[in-house]
Amino acid sequence: MRLSKRNRFTGLGSIFARLGPFDAWIVAMLEDDGLRAAAASAALAPLPPLDNDSAIADSFRLNSTIHRTANTSSARLYHEDRVFARFSSYLCVPFESGVVALAARDEIGPAAVARVEAFASRLVPVARSWIAEARADRLDRLVRNLGLRLFGAIDAERARIARDLHDHQAQLLAAARIGIEAGPDEARAVFKQLESELRLRVRELRPATLGRSTLGHALRYELQRLAGGGIKGRLVNAERMSALTRPVQQLCYQVVREALSNVLRHADATTVEISVEKRGGQVRLCIADNGKGMSESGGRAGMGLGGLGERLDLMGGKLRIDSQAGLTRLIAEIPEPG
pLDDT per residue as tens digits for the range 272-316:
999 998 887 889 999 999 988 876 544 445 546 676 777 777 777
Q: Is the peptide bond before 49 cis (omega within 30 degrees of 0)?
A: no
CB 242 within 8 A of CB 273: no
Cβ–Cβ under 8 Å, residues 249 and 241: yes
Q: How far is Cα 136 from Cα 251, in angstroms, rounded to an integer? A: 29
Residue 221 lies in a domain: yes
- Domain containing residue 225: 209-338
Indicate whether 328 and 232 sit together in one domain.
yes
Q: Is the peptide bond before 110 cis (omega within 30 degrees of 0)?
A: no
The pLDDT value given to residue 221: 86
3-state SS, 175-239, equals: HHHHHHHHCHHHHHHHHHHHHHHHHHHHHHHCCCCCCCCCHHHHHHHHHHHHHHCCCEEEEECHH
Q: Could you give the number of structural domains in the chain?
A: 3
Same domain, 215 and 245: yes
Q: Is residue 48 part of a domain?
A: yes
Does the residue 134 lie in any domain?
Answer: no
Residue 110 vs residues 116, 158, 160, 189: alpha-carbon distances, Å: 10, 69, 70, 98
Residue 2 lies in a domain: no
Verdict on whether the full-model pTM lies above 0.95: no
Digit-coded pLDDT (tens) for 186-229: 777 777 777 777 766 665 555 556 767 788 888 888 888 888 88
| pLDDT at residue 48 greater than cutoff 50 | yes
Higher pLDDT, 171 or 34: 34
